Structure formats: structure tokens, C-alpha cells
Amino acid sequence: MKKLRVYVDSSAVGGAFNKRIAQETRPFWEAVQGGELIVILSDVLEKELQKAPERARDLVGALPESQVERVVSTDESDSLANQYIVEKVVGESSYDDCAHVALATIACADVLVSWNMKHLANLDRKRGYNSVNMRLGYPQIEILTHNMVIYDETRMG
């Protein structure tokens, strides 16, 4: 079976260390370490991780290279991210979130994983991003939280 290609934002990394959501996040990162998923990392994430705690950088740095795909911002991804702002999917202060969606879209990720419920992982935002994508000829992007990608019966009771 084809491995899922999963784009991650900084909240996806930070969730591994957040007491409130670490339990739901852990199976996702275990699946990556176990070779079950391909993680897509971007230059936008790398920039965000420069400001993050060292343990977040260590988590990403310890990922097996065989499980990592890297993408970088381009004029095309910048233009798409700006279009999300122009069409008011989110405000200008959320440009990095738009950049993540644009990069995941252009990379044809199977899913963007995020704990950012305000700007990414909610139905209204997802509809907005996908409306822009469809109108401009890009594929739709699925945006989910970790526990929606990796269902762990042992933690669900």
C-alpha cells in the first residue's frame, strides 16, 4: 500500500510536547518513525522551528531521511498563499499558515496535519482554501489533526 505523504506545520511538531494533546499526537510521530508515513517538511517550517524549543527541532532532526520529503517556497507557492489572503480565507497576519497550505497543495500532499484549529484545521477555513484551489486549478487539500490521520484504538477506549 502507498504510504501517505503528510505535510506538517509547526503545531504538528509542537503538539508532541503539549501536555493537553501529546497523547493524541504521539501515535502519529511513532508511525513516522516506524516507516508508515512520509512527512513533508518545508522551509517555512524550518523558519518557524528556529524560534521553537530545542526538543521540537530535535524531533524533526531525528526523523529518518527515508521518511522525509522536503519542499521549498517558490514564486508559485507565494502567489497561491497571497491569494488566500486576498480572498480573506484568513487575515494577513496568518501568512505562514497560508504558505503551509500552498506548499502542501502544490506538493500534492495527501493531508496537511495541524493542531492549528483557528487558521487551518477547521471546516470553514478548509472550505476557503479549497475554494481558491479549485478556482485556480489546484487540487483540494485535506487538513486534519494527528488523531484523525492515525486512529489508535488503544487510546480511544
Under CATH, which architecture does the 4-151 domain have? Answer: 3-Layer(aba) Sandwich (3.40)
Read off φ and ψ for residue 52, nearest 5 degrees.
-90, 165
Q: Where are the domains of the chain?
A: 4-151
Amino acid 154: pLDDT: 42
Amino acid 151: pLDDT: 56
pTM of the model: 0.93
Closest CA to 113 of 99, 125, 101, 96: 101
How confident is the model over 135-148, as pLDDT tens digits? 999 999 999 998 88
Q: Work out the pLDDT band at 1, boundaries 50, 70, 90.
A: confident
- Helix, strand, coil content of the chain in percent (nearest 5): 55, 15, 30
132 near 89, Cβ under 8 Å? yes
